[in-house]
Structure 1
Amino acid sequence: MGERDTDKTREQGVEFGSLANRIDNHSYPATSTDLIEDYGDYEVKLPDGTQTLENLFEPLQEEEFDSAEDARQAVLNMVDDRAIGRKGYSDRSPPAPGEETDWEPESI
């Protein structure tokens, strides 16, 4: 079982929906313009809204993708801050003694 054998419709807070299968079954290499022409109206869902593939790929200016993995990674790279979820949130523990950080404990 490979690392990509899991559900490809959701990754890193981005819900690809039916676009995942379209990207996977597309013929590669392909440019961002090719994918916009075929799937530009498809939306990806983010924790705080949606974006179309056209909106995501328009700034890429004919970037070429060698595989579906490359195209999916480009989507993940191009989503805006609506994919972040809670800004500034960290699930890290407080810093260890001597560890440099900007973190300050909350006042109680």
Structure 2
Amino acid sequence: MPNEGDDDGTGDEDTRELGVDIGSLDSALESHEYPTTVDELIEEFGDHEIELPGGETTVEEVLDTQSGEEFESADGVKQRILNDVGAEAVGREGYSDRGGSNEGESGGDPQSL
């Protein structure tokens, strides 16, 4: 993703994906040298906060369980973050837009149309 100018916090649409906002980490990851390991990423970016719809977390909290993994590009790191952010990045728990009912969901018997 090309960045034009400095991130002054007004470009949320550039760094927010699937409800996860990595902010200035986006450009930092793009300029980081690859291949790199999780341990190197945690050492350099571990304290960086990632904003989620239900709160925030850090790079270290997200990547800590991936010790030993190696990344070939910034895109790989960003995808891993999106995959591993946890339940606080999810909208309504138990919600499905696929129809039917979820287990444990209260309600009447399904009706035939």
Using structure 2 for the length normalisation, give the TM-score: 0.74
Match of 2:37 in 1: 31
Q: Does 1:46 align with 2:52?
A: yes
2:79 matches 1:73: yes
* Residue 6 of structure 2 corresponds to residue 12 of structure 1: no
Q: Does 1:55 align with 2:61?
A: yes
How far apart are residue 51 of structure 1 and its match?
0.7
How large is the Cα RMSD of the aligned pairs?
2.3
**Matches of 1:48 and 1:36, distance apart in 2:** 23
Aligned with 1:36: secondary structure? helix
Query: Any unmatched runs of 5+ in structure 1?
Result: 95-100
Moved over 3 A (4+): 4-8, 101-107
TM-score, normalised to structure 1, is 0.78
Report the Cα offset of residue 69 of structure 1.
Answer: 0.5
> Any idea what SS the aligned residue of 1:44 has?
strand
| Overall identity of the aligned pairs, in % | 42
Match among 87, 93, 107 for residue 93 of structure 2? 87
Q: Which stretch shifts more, 4-13 or 19-28?
A: 4-13
Unaligned regions of 5+ residues in structure 2, if any? 4-12, 109-113
